[in-house]
Amino acid sequence: MPDIPSICCYCGCGCGLYLHVEHGRVTGVSPSRSHPVSRNNLCVKGWHVHEYIHHSDRLTRPLIRQHDRLRPASWDDALDLIAEKLTAVKEQYGSDRIGVLSSAKCSNEENYLLQKFTRISLGTNNIDHCARL
């Protein structure tokens, strides 16, 4: 499998790098030579950016709290429950009683979708992220 062009997921420098993929796993990283910021160089975090991707702690199934414990559930059950609860809060208390935190770890497209969803489906401007922190 060829190396996949990607962007380091840590700080705001935005270094260009290649992910080495073997048998469906990212096994290593190399910096891009032509990238204007990384210029064939990475910091210690960038060189090891692949190490957490396949960690055994990764969440692999939706979880729903039942009797005060988080238990595995199906996507359909989790998504239906979210839609039902958010709709109920919106109808009972009003849209502005729902808050949304978006993420500096997600892509532009995902941030765009989340603010669109918040403003249209939830009907509130209560959306922010960690830029201030």
Torsion of CA 95, 101, 107, 111, to 10 degrees: 20
> Interface mask (CB under 8 A) for other proteins, residues 73-92, using x and -?
--x--xxxxxx-xxx-x--x
> Interface mask (CB under 8 A) for other proteins, residues 23-62, using x and -?
-xxx-----x-xxxxx--x-xxx-xx-xxxxxx-xxxxxx
> Interface mask (CB under 8 A) for other proteins, residues 92-121, using x and -?
xx-xxxxxxxxxxxxxxxxxxxxxxxxxxx
Structure tokens at 77: 């059950």
Structure tokens at 95: 């849209």
CB of 101 to other proteins, least distance (A): 4
Contact residue for other proteins among 28, 30, 91, 124 (CB under 8 A):
124
